[in-house]
Amino acid sequence: MVLQRCKKPVWGGGLEGHQKRLGEFSFSFPLHHWGRHQSEVLEGFGVEINLWKKLSPSCLTSLSIKKDGLLRLGRKTKEETKTNSISWNPMEPMNFTAGVSIVDIILRLWPEANEDCNCYSYDARKLDEAKCVHKDHVSAVMDIDYSPTGREFVTGSYDRTVRIFQYNGGHSREIYHTKRMQRVFCVKFTCDASYVISGSDDTNLRLWKAKASEQLGVLLPRERKKHEYHEAVKNRYKHLPEVKRIVRHRHLPKPIFKAAALRRTMTEAERRKEEKRKAHSAPGSISTEPLRKRRIIQEVE
């Protein structure tokens, strides 16, 4: 079946949550919706250039990234950084995550992938601040995708790594990298949430386990109970310093390790400078804005 009215190159597409209509995103004219078994356009949206569009699991709202880097949800939010990708939480339809850019460009809503190396999770009902800031990448976040369970999401970055975050975690729980893998432009969770697929600049697709140490294959009941017991023990004592050091340790490539150390040094220097500025100013004249609000310039109805 040939879909009509695609007058410009189409850069992607996808099915909505109820799986009955197909959308497209391109450097073309308005976004179009087709029926699954129809070649005629059911409806179109706007005259702005759409680089990316994604619908929420409830199919009640949609989110798009425009040419100027803004995120649009019906309402829109202006931010200081460029959003590269967004993903809706499949189990919490009003929440999304976005990844952003270092470049000073206006942004629009959702949990997003951004070029300031962070990901930001938002609640669509309260867009004046992010719910959570997910850190660890040292270069622009290019793509993001939620697990079907809604408890984790995976990100691919220009720093040539793939990271897995808890939906409410400030730092990644897992990082994947190889010597040959180049800049990662797309990542996806499989439908059973057991694997992650990444596509990189070296023209390869790679399949990773969502849990690196998970045993594959059929498990006997005793084996399953043993794994569950070990996991419960780790979760119970993961906050102890000795256990935390072992659980969180991950080997990093030297360039990423050096870049992360430099970012920590710069962040700490900025924090000390802010404290000294407050100490030598009139009380209350200088207020520190949290990072969850700092990137947002304005919310426009």
SS (H, E, C) 161-222: CEEEEECCCCEEEEEECCCCCCCEEEEEECCCCCEEEEEECCCCEEEEECCCCCCCCCCCHH
pLDDT for position 78: 54
pLDDT for position 223: 95
Does the pTM of the predicted model rise above 0.75?
Answer: no
pLDDT for position 179: 93
CA quadruple 268, 292, 236, 174: dihedral sign: negative
Structure-token pair, residue 257: 């390790």
pLDDT for position 32: 53
Q: Are strands 50-55 and 41-45 parallel, antiparallel or unpaired?
A: unpaired
Overall average pLDDT of the 6-24 stretch = 45
Give per-residue pLDDT as tens, 80-111. Answer: 567 788 888 888 888 888 876 543 323 333 33
The residue extents of the domains of the chain are 48-259+287-300
pLDDT for position 280: 93
Half-sphere exposure of 111 (CA within 13 A, CB side): 30
Give per-residue pLDDT as tens, 265-294. Answer: 999 999 999 999 999 999 888 888 888 888
**Separation between Cα atoms, residue 59 and residue 78, nearest integer Å:** 24
Does domain 48-259+287-300 fall under CATH 2.130.10.10? My reply is yes
pLDDT for position 10: 43
Percent of the chain with pLDDT over 70: 67
**Distances, alpha carbon 292 to alpha carbons 126, 155, 168, 178, 225, in Å:** 12, 19, 13, 32, 40
Q: Residue 264's pLDDT band (boundaries 50, 70, 90)?
A: very high
pLDDT for position 87: 87
Closest CA to 295 of 161, 132, 169, 172: 132
Contact status, residue 139 vs residue 255, Cβ threshold 8 Å: no
Chain-centre distance for alpha carbon 159: 15
* Among the ranges given (19-28, 169-178, 268-277), the one the predictor scored with the smallest mean pLDDT: 19-28
